[in-house]
Amino acid sequence: MSEIYYSQASQWQDFLDSLKQEFRIYLPQAKDSDYYYQEIRNSKFTFNPYRTVQPIKSFLFYPKEKVVEDLNSDQQLEDFTPTVVVGLKNCDLHSLKVQDFVFTPHLLKNSTGLGKEGAGFKEGLEIDALYNLRRENTILISGDCTGFKDVCFCLALEVLPYPLNGFDLNLSVLTDGFLVEVGSGRAEGLIKKYHKYFIKAKESQIAARNSKRQNLIDELNKQLKPQNLPPKDTLQKIVKQGYAADTWQNFSLTCVECGACNFICCTCHCFLLSDIRIKDKYPRLRLWDSCQYANFARVAGGANPLKRRTQRLRNRFLKKFDFFVDNLGLPACAGCGRCIEACPGKIDIREVLKDLAKNSVSSQG
Amino acid sequence: MPAVIEEIIEETPTIKTFVLRPKQSFSFNTGQFVELSLAGIGEAPFTPSSDPNIKERLEITIMNVGRLTAQLHCLTKFAKGLGIRGPYGNGYPLEEFKGREIVIVGGGVGLAPLRSLLLSLFSDLNQYKKVLLRYGARTPKDTLYRGLLNKWSKSIDVVTTVDAAEGDYKGNVGLVTTILKDFPVDVKRAVSVVCGPPIMMKFTTLKLLDLGFRPENIYLSMEKNMSCGLGKCGHCRIGKYYVCRDGPVFTYDKLKDMPDIWD
């Protein structure tokens, strides 16, 4: 079992301040009722009760970046300053199973054993050097959820509102301080180095954490139960069975093809490569891409298997709930609800799944 | 890897073969694809049309259909800025073809990857029980590799057709499916390799099934938007597969239960 420490709020602040010497540090900052990561200089740590607006992928796989400096030379990739991100929740940690599967399959296999569990696990072919560099040099300090948003539906995907693995350190709020659970060797090293800020947690403190966790699950269930979301294990079936359903037509009526659902999604990973010219250099860019864009699957000559908006909405769901279940053994959705908040057309992933489930039942009956 | 154009061969009014010399020797299996880039313009997947036994040169036969290919068609010998990376995906499983009858069916520029396959087969022809080629082009002047087709017909069974005749053309007229008949092969055991535009592959597959070919013996080269080539960028998904990682060559039994594969 991993070590759990207690750190008073002021000691925790001192710990973060000390880390500034070695790391670039991002903390959640409150704005209205939301939290956004910001690089800190002197700001105080605020514990965010629920997930941030930005998905964790944006620290590892940037919205727009150079992947080749110059196609005509062998110039090497950027250096990366070791970074600490504080405040991500279990939905984001869970999403890294998907992102790691795509970009660094070797890490996933080593760390989670998912390769053995997931019946269909099929590794990607290559390690993505940029993602790997950032992943290996980014310390993830997660936190238990102490609240949730009305779009949160992690439990429907069997993702807990607190993490059991995948983090370097995890924070649980206690009176006047935090329980700090250690989840990696490198984090253990940091605790040792800054041991003056930590003492071993008492059994009673751990018991208090566990009961807070259970309370939050109960609260979240109160919000979720009336929604009657289809169970996780049925999602692949209902999405496949609903291939020809009216659902896609009905829900894509308000789609404006902005791609926000994909960009804000913690598991969406599709990208576009684009070659440009800057003076005498020819860099290659990598940009987040969206399967909701009309040309996403178009080939030279004009053929396009995702010509219609309905096909593209369906593609988003097939990718999440069919492709990834077959290839990784997990659906590519953590129930973070970001896509629900981001969609200007008010397309709600929960409503789409419910509609598919309804059709699935009626087609059987 | 940078590559230099050693030669450009005009095959038809819209198709050219680029003979490339990569900076270092380049190995691929027949049917695998490469990403060919032109600096500052872009990159696209192509299956080489040359003999994979030749490592220092690589030929790619390209039809002028899009933004990148239009620019490639403007290039001249020794042009700068070309690069290739790869090879990617799974090619044709030559080992499984050994001792069997092979019916190769091409449509239009789809003959390019098949040329690479044929050249591989020719390097060891007595390993295969029988090799047949059936090829259809739009018009006589769109017929690819005319000289080679003549040459090949001396050692294997070749039948060609065109959708529409013109000039003093005297050969077969009709879609490629019209020449898929009277095969001197045991269709239950023979393999078929199909490459061409999606609509041609669809009707060819249906015809082959009608004739008695087994789904697991029909090899299809699927064409999708393959950008990264590494199973990461997400564009080329069909069902549970990425065409770049799991294909581009698939046997029909793997695809037959998936909807809309020909779109």
> b/e map of A353-364 (b: 16 or more CB within 10 Å)?
bbbbbbbbeeee
Query: Which listed CATH number (3.40.50.80, 3.40.50.300, 1.10.10.10, 2.40.30.10) goes with B94-221?
Result: 3.40.50.80
Distance from CA of A110 to the nearest CA of B (A): 20
| Residue spans per domain, chain B | 3-88, 94-221
Question: Beta partners for A5?
Answer: A180, A200
Question: ipTM, 2 decimals?
Answer: 0.93
Contact A72 B2 (CB under 8 A): yes
Q: Is B228 near chain A, with CB under 8 Å?
A: yes
CA–CA distance, A276 with A209 (Å, rounded to integer): 52
* Model confidence pLDDT, tens digit, residues B50-93: 999 999 999 999 999 999 999 999 999 999 899 999 999 999 99
Residues A248 and A213 in one domain: no
Residue of B nearest to A271 (CA): B233
Which residues 74-103 of A are in CB contact (within 8 Å) with B?
102-103
Dihedral over Cα of B1, B5, B9, B12: its sign: positive
Contact B69 A300 (CB under 8 A): yes
Residue of B nearest to A312 (CA): B235
Q: Identify which of B117, B216, B13, B32 has the alpha carbon closest to the alpha carbon of residue B135.
A: B117
Q: Is B24 near chain A, with CB under 8 Å?
A: no
Predicted pLDDT at A123: 52
For domain B3-88, the CATH architecture is Beta Barrel (2.40)
Contact A275 B44 (CB under 8 A): no
Boundary-marking domain end, from A164, A192, A227:
A227
Quick one: pLDDT band at residue B263, thresholds 50, 70, 90? confident
Q: B231: which chain A residues are within 8 Å (Cβ-Cβ)? A: 102, 124-125
Contact at 8 Å (CB) between A38 and A86? no
Predicted pLDDT at A317: 98
Q: Is A297 near chain B, with CB under 8 Å?
A: yes
Give me the mean pLDDT over the A251-263 stretch: 98
CA–CA distance, A59 with A131 (Å, rounded to integer): 9
Predicted pLDDT at A114: 52
Q: Identify which of B54, B36, B32 has the alpha carbon closest to the alpha carbon of residue B45.
A: B36
CA distances from B241 to A191, A322, B19, B218, B222 (A): 44, 11, 32, 18, 11
Q: B73 is written with which tokens? A: 């068609």
Residues A130 and A271 in one domain: no
Q: B81: which chain A residues are within 8 Å (Cβ-Cβ)? A: 71-72, 282
Q: A348 is written with which tokens? A: 């709600």
Could you say which of A269, A274, A299 has the minimum Cβ distance to residue B225? Answer: A299
Predicted pLDDT at A175: 87
Contact A125 B43 (CB under 8 A): no
* Model confidence pLDDT, tens digit, residues A298-333: 999 889 999 999 999 999 999 999 999 999 999 999
Quick one: pLDDT band at residue A361, thresholds 50, 70, 90? confident
* Model confidence pLDDT, tens digit, residues A15-46: 999 999 999 999 999 999 999 999 988 778 99
Q: B90: which chain A residues are within 8 Å (Cβ-Cβ)? A: none
Q: Is A123 helix (H, G, I), strand (E, B) or coil?
A: coil
Q: Which residue of B199, B225, B241 to mutate against A (max A Cβ within 10 Å)?
A: B225
Distance of alpha carbon B102 from the chain centroid = 15
Q: How many domains does chain A have?
A: 2
Q: Is B147 near chain A, with CB under 8 Å?
A: no
Q: Is B188 near chain A, with CB under 8 Å?
A: no
Contact B43 A272 (CB under 8 A): no
Please count the residue pairs, one from chain A and one from chain B, whose beta carbons lie less than 8 angstroms apart.
97
Helices A90-103 and A105-112: angle between axes, nearest 10 degrees: 130
Beta A138-143 vs A83-88: how paired, if at all? parallel
* Model confidence pLDDT, tens digit, residues A67-123: 988 887 766 667 899 999 999 999 999 999 999 999 998 877 655 555 444 444 455
CA–CA distance, A360 with B60 (Å, rounded to integer): 48
Structural domain harbouring A143? 4-227
Distance from CA of A103 to the nearest CA of B (A): 7
Q: Identify which of A269, A299, A300 has the alpha carbon closest to the alpha carbon of residue A287.
A: A269
Contact B240 A103 (CB under 8 A): no
Could you say which of A274, A301, A319 has the minimum Cβ distance to residue B237? Answer: A319
Q: Is A328 helix (H, G, I), strand (E, B) or coil?
A: helix
Contact B66 A72 (CB under 8 A): no
Number of Cβ within 10 Å of residue B192's Cβ equals 28
Contact B66 A301 (CB under 8 A): yes
Burial status of residue B80 (CB atoms within 10 A of its CB: 0-12, 13-18, 19 or more):
exposed
Could you say which of A71, A270, A300 has the minimum Cβ distance to residue B37? Answer: A71
Residues A273 and A140 in one domain: no
Predicted pLDDT at A70: 86
Strand runs labelled E in chain A: 4-8, 24-31, 34-39, 64-68, 83-88, 138-143, 169-174, 177-182, 199-200, 271-275, 284-288
Number of Cβ within 10 Å of residue A77's Cβ equals 13
What residues contact B141, with CB distance under 8 A and at least 6 apart?
B12, B13, B166
Predicted pLDDT at A15: 97
Helix (H) or strand (E) run with residue B35 in it: strand B33-38
Contact A274 B42 (CB under 8 A): yes
Which residues 44-103 of B are in CB contact (within 8 Å) with A?
44, 65-69, 80-81, 83, 88
Q: B41: which chain A residues are within 8 Å (Cβ-Cβ)? A: 275
Contact B83 A71 (CB under 8 A): yes
pLDDT > 70? residue B258: yes
Predicted pLDDT at A108: 73
Could you say which of B43, B69, B232 has the minimum Cβ distance to residue A102? Answer: B232
Predicted pLDDT at B223: 85
Residues A103 and A204 in one domain: yes
Distance from CA of B222 to the nearest CA of A (A): 12
Could you say which of B42, B224, B230 has the minimum Cβ distance to residue A275? Answer: B42
Give me the mean pLDDT over the B182-210 stretch: 96
Predicted pLDDT at A116: 44
Q: A271: which chain B residues are within 8 Å (Cβ-Cβ)? A: 227-228, 232-234
Predicted pLDDT at A118: 42
Predicted pLDDT at A107: 77
What DSSP string runs through A154-190?
A: GGGGT--SS-SSS-SEEEEEETTEEEEEE-SHHHHHH
Distance from CA of A222 to the nearest CA of B (A): 35
Predicted pLDDT at A111: 55
3-state helix, strand and coil shares in percent for chain A, rounded to the nearest 5: 40, 15, 40
Burial status of residue A215 (CB atoms within 10 A of its CB: 0-12, 13-18, 19 or more):
exposed
Query: In this prediction, what percent of chain B has a pLDDT beyond 70?
Result: 100
Residues A173 and A257 in one domain: no
pLDDT > 50? residue B26: yes
Residues A207 and A319 in one domain: no
Quick one: pLDDT band at residue A347, thresholds 50, 70, 90? very high
